[in-house]
């Protein structure tokens, strides 16, 4: 049955079979292994492809908490709680958290979120909040992904220290303390613009890259037109007013009488109550430069500062910051806990602060309405003054050095000075920080006819540049202009003058909430202005507002 031959063949066959079996098993094993490894390798990607929008909730919770942590550290520093000796280490802490936020903003997970939103859009299951969130974060993502993370971290650390040095420099009237930091910040921003351009973003003017951060779609070309239009009406109006033989003695007296800080604090309480700032979800503290800070609608804080002989500076800074804060407090409840629970871009935010500060707070109706309560809160310091005299004083036109103390008419000229210098900084590569004070003084002389005697009253007056906020200032002028347009639109719906006279802020805030506040960051500036007027933003309302207001105040033909 088994001859040699057959036996030999059988053995060979067995060997072949064995070899084949081993090979096959090996093959199978290798196949299995590679399948496993392949599955493992694609696991993450596959997983990412299956992620639903709700899966990103913990990611956004961390994202929001980190942002709030950065804010609270800044608040701690700005309100003077953090010990001076800790500022360098606090700057480091803020830098680490900002780097972490940067890293989240530009992370693979963020990218996966965008993909999940895309899939939801395809399936028609994306809700408005998700779409709004995605739109804002995608814009940020595109802007940030072109900046190296290390560089952004160093920049963030720099601005925290720079803000401190700015404070020192301003206190000591010593530009040299701050200027090296300013130069560094400018160098970073110039590089950041380059990174964006290299990443394919197109800006007609390099400065537009920075303008776009605070107000998407705003360009220096558009601003040139806006400011030219403004200049064409403000400057003649200003000359007209300055040529009048107006007795401003009483107004001077009112504006600069000494008011004890405790009395000023009591008046701040009255203002906050009057404009409907909810102190259960807000708090007022003091800082070098007044600001507002929102940690979501349940916690929107403001600051001011008090000087015994600059009572109306604190008065209107509180009204201004309240305008910002009321905006964020009135965001729709359903946006709470999302990144949309805040205000839209800067010019809209400024339109709300300007509305309360100027349209509301510098109107004759306001002064008539608040007069009795004001006189009581001011504790005898303004018993001899009428509502009309207060109204005239707080609207006294006088070219001056300090932006935040400027009257409504000359205010935009202060902004033009900053706008034009910023535009130069980012268009003239060899312009150095050493050149800026002279430039500042020259432009102040040209537009306002006044020249600062000190750095503190000149180029060092504002915190913005120390924080790297180039491109921010124009929002103030745009905000004022939008506030005027808002009032005009509001007048179509109810008697605004009567509401102000009655201090009926409930009606005013309900209107603002409906058109502006409730949307939070769901709508951008253009979309919000489209809620106000079919034609969107138009500067003419501002020019009309200023012309009418000052014609009435100074009894000149309009």
Tell which residue, 200, 202, 201, 223, has the closest CA to residue 211. Answer: 223
Q: Alpha-carbon distance 26 to 308, whole Å?
A: 89
Does 391 engage in binding with its own copies (CB under 8 A)?
A: no
Question: For its own copies, which residue of 48, 51, 72, 439 counts as binding (CB under 8 A)?
Answer: 72
Task: Give residues with Cβ within 8 angstroms of 317, minimum separation 6.
Answer: 290, 304, 305, 404
C-beta neighbour count of 469 within 10 angstroms: 20
Spot the catalytic one: 184, 321, 350, 408: 321
Secondary structure letter of residue 359 according to DSSP? I
What separation in angstroms does the CA of 443 have from each of 413, 431, 436?
A: 10, 16, 10
Q: Which is nearer to its own copies, 33 or 232 (CB)?
A: 33
CA quadruple 37, 42, 43, 48: dihedral, nearest 10 = 170
CA 314/CA 316 separation, integer angstroms: 6
Which stretch in 63-71, 118-126, 165-173, 239-247 sits in contact with its own copies by CB under 8 A? 63-71
d(CA 46, CA 409): 60
| Residue 34 engages its own copies in binding (rule: CB under 8 A) | yes
Backbone angles phi and psi of 491, in degrees to 5 = -65, -20
Nearest CB to its own copies, comparing residues 12 and 279: 279
194 in contact with its own copies (CB under 8 A): no
- Measured from the CB atom, the residue of 91 and 444 that comes closer to its own copies is 91
Nearer to its own copies, 86 or 309 (CB): 86
The site map against its own copies for 327-356 (x = CB under 8 A) is ---------xx-------------------
CB of 66 to its own copies, least distance (A): 8
Name the minimum Å distance from CB 516 to its own copies.
Answer: 22
Beta bridge partners of 285: 303
- Cβ closer to its own copies: 44 or 558? 44
Q: Is 321 a catalytic residue?
A: yes
182 versus 325: smaller Cβ distance to its own copies: 325
Contact residue for its own copies among 48, 62, 222, 547 (CB under 8 A): 62
Judged by CB under 8 A, which of 51, 55, 76, 389 binds its own copies?
76
d(CA 244, CA 234): 15
Q: Which of 53, 56, 78, 90 binds its own copies (CB under 8 A)?
A: 90
**Candidate ranges 93-101, 167-175, 223-231, 501-509; the one touching its own copies (CB under 8 A):** 93-101
**Cα gap 170→159, rounded to integer Å:** 16
Q: What is d(CA 122, CA 357) in angstroms, rounded to the nearest whole number?
A: 45
From the list 12, 21, 22, 31, which residue makes contact with its own copies (rule: CB under 8 A)?
Answer: 31
Contacts with its own copies by CB under 8 A: the residue count is 49
Nearer to its own copies, 41 or 199 (CB): 41
Angle between helices 346-354 and 474-493 (to 10 degrees): 60
- Residue 302 main-chain phi, psi, to 5 deg: -135, 160
With CB under 8 A as the contact rule, the residue among 3, 5, 83, 200 that binds its own copies is 83
User: Cβ of residue 16: shortest distance to its own copies, in angstroms?
Assistant: 12
Q: Does 296 bind its own copies (CB under 8 A)?
A: yes
Give the integer Cα–Cα distance in Å for 459 and 437. 6
- Least distance between its own copies and beta carbon 371 (Å): 30
Query: What SS3 state is found at 301?
Result: strand
> Do 488 and 545 touch, CB atoms closer than 8 A?
yes
Q: Which residues are catalytic?
A: 321
Query: Which positions touch its own copies (CB under 8 A)?
Result: 27, 30-31, 33-34, 37-38, 40-41, 61-62, 64-66, 68-69, 72-73, 75-76, 79, 81-86, 88-90, 92-93, 96-97, 100, 278-283, 285, 295-296, 298-299, 301, 336-337
């Amino acid at each position: 049955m088994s001859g040699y031959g057959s036996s030999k063949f059988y053995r060979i066959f067995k060997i072949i079979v064995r070899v084949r079996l081993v090979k096959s098993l090996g093959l199978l094993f290798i196949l299995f292994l590679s399948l496993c490894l392949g599955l493992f390798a694609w696991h993450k990607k596959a997983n990412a492809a299956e992620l639903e929008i709700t899966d990103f909730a913990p990611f956004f919770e961390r994202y929001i908490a980190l942002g709030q942590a950065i804010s609270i550290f800044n608040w701690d520093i700005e309100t003077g709680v953090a010990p001076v000796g800790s500022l360098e280490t606090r700057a480091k802490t803020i830098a680490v958290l900002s780097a972490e936020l940067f890293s989240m903003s530009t992370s693979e997970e963020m990218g996966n979120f965008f993909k999940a939103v895309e899939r939801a859009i395809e399936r028609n299951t994306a809700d408005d909040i998700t779409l709004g969130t995605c739109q804002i974060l995608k814009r940020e993502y595109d802007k940030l992904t072109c900046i190296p993370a290390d560089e952004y971290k160093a920049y963030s650390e720099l601005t925290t220290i720079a803000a401190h040095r700015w404070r020192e420099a301003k206190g000591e009237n010593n530009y040299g303390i701050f200027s090296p930091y300013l130069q560094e910040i400018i160098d970073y921003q110039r590089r950041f613009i380059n990174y964006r351009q290299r990443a394919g973003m197109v800006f007609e003017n390099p400065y537009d890259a920075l303008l776009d951060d605070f107000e998407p779609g705003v360009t220096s070309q558009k601003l040139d037109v806006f400011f030219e239009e403004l200049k064409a009406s403000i400057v003649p109006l200003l000359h007209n007013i300055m040529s009048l033989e107006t007795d401003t003695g009483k107004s001077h007296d009112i504006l600069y009488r000494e008011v004890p800080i405790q009395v000023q604090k009591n008046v701040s309480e009255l203002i906050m109550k009057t404009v409907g700032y909810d102190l259960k979800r807000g708090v007022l503290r003091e800082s070098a430069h007044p600001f507002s800070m929102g940690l979501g609608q349940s916690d929107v804080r403001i600051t001011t500062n008090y000087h015994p002989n600059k009572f109306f500076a604190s008065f209107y800074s509180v009204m201004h910051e309240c305008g910002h804060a009321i905006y964020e407090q009135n965001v729709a409840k359903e946006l709470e806990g999302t990144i949309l629970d805040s205000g839209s871009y800067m010019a809209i935010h400024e339109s709300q602060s300007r509305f309360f500060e100027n349209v509301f707070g510098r109107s004759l109706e306001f002064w008539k309405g608040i007069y009795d309560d004001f006189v009581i809160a001011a504790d005898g310091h303004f018993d001899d003054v009428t509502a009309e005299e207060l109204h005239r004083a707080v609207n006294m036109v006088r070219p001056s050095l300090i932006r935040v103390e400027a009257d409504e008419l000359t205010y935009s000229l202060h902004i033009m000075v900053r706008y034009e210098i910023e535009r130069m900084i980012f268009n003239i590569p060899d312009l150095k920080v050493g050149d800026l004070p002279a430039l500042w003084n020259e432009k102040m002389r040209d537009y306002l006819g006044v020249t600062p005697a000190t750095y503190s009253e000149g180029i060092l007056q504002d915190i913005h540049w120390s924080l790297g906020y180039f491109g921010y200032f124009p929002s103030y002028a745009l905000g004022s202009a939008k506030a005027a347009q808002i009032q005009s639109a509001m007048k179509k719906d109810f008697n605004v003058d009567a509401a102000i006279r009655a201090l009926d802020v409930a009606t005013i805030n309900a209107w603002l909430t409906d058109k502006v506040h409730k949307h939070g960051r769901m709508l951008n500036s253009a979309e919000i202005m489209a809620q106000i007027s079919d034609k969107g933003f138009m500067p003419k309302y501002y020019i009309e507002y200023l012309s009418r207001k000052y014609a009435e105040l100074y009894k000149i033909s309009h």
